[in-house]
Amino acid sequence: MEDKQTLIDMFKFHGHKCWASAAGLRAGLAALRALGVERSGAKSLHAVLETGYHHAAECFGDGVQYATGCTFGKSNISKDPKGKLAVRVIDKKNNKAVRISFKPVLREKIRNSAFMKKRASAVPPTEIPEEEQWEVVYLIWDAYEEDVLSIGKVYDCELAPTEELMRMVICDGCGEMVAESYMRVVNGKPVCIDCAGYDV
Ligand SMILES: [Zn+2]
Ligand SMILES: [Zn+2]
């Protein structure tokens, strides 16, 4: 088991303590271990999150981002929205991938926790007593891996390389800095999408 500090640091990133982000953290760490790789400092890994939008337990995705270093800021994570607590992590260097999903063995225990009962009656997670927050987190964090995760076989997976355009340009209209590929030309002047007044 990883030390508790990793969990605390992830919660700082995530914003609150919850079981789903803890599950995502475990899933991400398990993916690194299965692939035999380090957290993605740059873009050596790409993750495909199977969580969807606006549903329970979406917090899973933040645990995955924190564990794997696959982040929306670096664009080395994407969503294949299926409403599932699952992720595929691809090692771009070795062209290998693994899929990890949350195994709902502890579902009833989670549902019956004081934390989830309050969440079900719309109490925001940050207003639930600290010890009740930790109680549900520890359900996931201290559990045996086989009671939390399904870890698939490592399989071959090749991603087309992506090109990163480095040039940034100053918009003639608003003066903001814009990636060149997003610039438009209006009356012979380079402008951003907002200043161009059209978005094609
Ligand atoms: Zn959360
Ligand atoms: Zn502009």
| pLDDT of amino acid 2 | 62
| pLDDT of amino acid 162 | 79
Gap from CA of 6 to ligand 1 centroid (Å): 15
Kindly give, in sequence order, each residue whose CB lies less than 8 Å from that of residue 93, ignoring residues fewer than 6 positions away: 37, 44
Gap from CA of 176 to ligand 2 centroid (Å): 6
Q: Which CATH class is domain 4-156?
A: alpha beta
> What does the domain layout of the chain look like in residue ranges?
4-156, 165-200
Mean pLDDT over residues 98-117, rounded? Answer: 95
Q: Does the domain formed by 165-200 have CATH 3.30.450.20?
A: no
Mean pLDDT over residues 46-51, rounded? Answer: 97
User: Which pTM does this prediction carry?
Assistant: 0.90
To the nearest whole number, what is the mean pLDDT of the chain?
94
Gap from CA of 175 to ligand 2 centroid (Å): 6
| pLDDT of amino acid 126 | 85
Nearest ligand to residue 119 Cα: 1
Gap from CA of 89 to ligand 1 centroid (Å): 21
Please write the tens of the pLDDT for every residue from 65-92: 999 999 999 999 999 999 999 999 999 9
Tokens of 143: 């559990």
Continuous H helices in 36-153: 60-68, 107-111, 114-120, 130-141
Gap from CA of 88 to ligand 1 centroid (Å): 20
For residue 122, is it left (φ>0), alpha (ψ between -120 and 50) or beta?
left
Gap from CA of 22 to ligand 1 centroid (Å): 8
